[in-house]
Chain A
């Protein structure tokens, strides 16, 4: 139930009263259900927005469908995506034409549910030998049928539907609730009576019952789409974010890409530019005096301390050899998104040797880029020493004291020479070296893993096997001040 908003009325005149009774009476039920539907469809509607929606509808009223749609769109949908979702949702929900006859005149409006007298519930057996539902079917009373369906749906709790396997179950329940038993008995009774007129009547009842069943299935399906879609999407996204990248398959590619791109965009928005964080409250005395020399040192203009947070300069080395092959594709996808997001980043891929892939990632679209990289250098046999040597020879000069180097790999070199002295040199010149290892910690150092040899020269070494890990690492990376 919606409650009166807690804010006190403002001084200016308002020509609409917001008394509790008027709110509850006029706007509550259909609006509340619509909000539930909207949430189910994926719109994030907070409690405050729900209250705002109620107040807004109170101001404009339910009369004009277009105005109602605009109003709710203003209050509930706050991004372009949400606006689309809202439009779909509104159209789906406020459609009442499952029984639409060609000459239907009224626009589809939500009937205020405060008129239950026209509806029949349960298995009422009224009238002369006919059931109430049977009467409605025979008279083709569409409005009453629609209303009865709504009521039955509410009573059986259709809003709890979550999976498509429940469709038939709910359809059956609603039909029962509407009075199926009584109609079936009536049909039997008519057929057993045997007269011409009775048989015709029975036939017509059966036909209409079939139509009702079809309409009901559609109705339930629409509700499934409205109520369940949002939640299942959110659930799937959570799964993907926390899944081990090596376990994912090609078909999750597209969805991952959307997630990765969203993440990269978020990071870019925060960290793309040099930020200057002003520390108000701390007077920079030296600068203040300097600035005010013209007035003889009297501090007319104050200068406050500020911290400059510079854009990070990043070099990423990504292992694409056979041992990390399942994961390599997703790592490259992540790299692609980060390239889109950050401007000052260069990427390299290596297995037995090392090549720069920044151009490929920037020029081609993601599928083509990943294919090309994997074709050129992927699935090879790892040789970390050789790759590091290639890197130092070709791009060692780009490593300055502002650079951060990130290495994504499992440090398994197939017992080749690890060339740790190169790492030593790089760590002296670079600001930081971060190593992200997709294996569990317990596997480090076993077999041909040189992890602990390299770890000595790295600032940060962590496990990184899911999208969440990646996100956390990148966020931490970007948080650091220059």
Chain B
């Protein structure tokens, strides 16, 4: 992982804490220790025990060189790396079963910008409520079309089954676990 600028112990630990903060408080934005943030997340979570879908050659090579890559198709993978919006394909990802909902996929989107608590943004604005959120929280995501956000909401509509979403810019990330109610404004 050093090849892509990620210290395999220290940076992954910090990135993990970033992910914990983001998942515990959906819609809040947190800086990752290395950039780009989506690579940081994959370097933290992916090894051969989970299957991964990505088209990003840099991260693919970095993982494969350490024997940490088990590839799978988008619809079969545990961890999906979406370098561009999926055009609704997020609704076809693994969503786990009723007894084993945690087998639902995690999808990491590469986006342009995250603006927390934004009232009037031109970017897709999400209104969030549920566990981790006191009342409601808004998050604007530049680089995620409203249609994709609607698809995410549909992919998360069969709680506890569903997918868990991480949106990552160059330097930061936010999380939308399946437990949140997501409204596209």
Query: Is chain B found bound to chain A in the same assembly?
Result: no
Contacts from B to A (Cβ < 8 Å): none
